[in-house]
A and B are shown apart, each in its own frame.
Chain A
């Protein structure tokens, strides 16, 4: 939709509805996380309606300090990626690689006071590899960027998040699709 310049102080219902319907990120679904769960599967998250997605998990807590991990469908192989991170207490950059892993291991972080995961997923429902990028707070004390790829041509419809240790409680996982036109 072309950018429109408004000249009136009052938006018409037509203009308002058009702009609401043409937002860049479109709500797909939300899932409330239960109590003391070690994995959370969100079904019917990806479809042919959108190619790319943003997934946010916030307002939950964890039983212990942990990373939040993400698995596509039931795929437990062919995950590749690189984490670049630093601990806030030192001006040193470190890295950790994922080479033929079982999931994307560094997608967010949580402890007893916070929980955050915000990832962009590219083409999970297309018959090609799925790419991921995150910018996040890992394990409470580390801040970094993880980028990765699941290298199969599987057309995924679901994903599962899990803590690297312990359990998650509460909060909401929200899935948005990136409008194509």
Chain B
């Protein structure tokens, strides 16, 4: 599975497994939800 890209300053690369896990843990989703939710 291809993971999302991460950008650090001018460097763009695919996320590592650990970075992807942190992104998911932050509540990031692949699909759109237009209702603001509590965090």
Contact = CB atoms under 8 A, between A and B. Distances in A.
Interface of B is mostly: loop
A129 to B, nearest CB: 17
B26 A38 contact: no
A31 B26 contact: no
Contact of A39 (B6, B29, B32, B36): B6
Interface residues of B, number: 27
B9 A142 contact: no
B36 A83 contact: yes
A56 interface: no
A43 B8 contact: yes
A150 interface: no
B23 A65 contact: no
Interface in B1-39: 4-10, 12, 15, 19, 22-23, 25-39
Contacts of A165: 28-33
Which 9 residue pairs are nearest across A and B when measured between Cβ atoms? A38-B4, A101-B39, A34-B12, A37-B7, A139-B34, A98-B39, A96-B36, A64-B32, A165-B29
Interface of A: 31-43, 64-67, 69, 71, 76, 79, 83, 85, 94, 96-99, 101-103, 105-106, 138-142, 144, 162-167
Interface of B: 4-10, 12, 15, 19, 22-23, 25-39
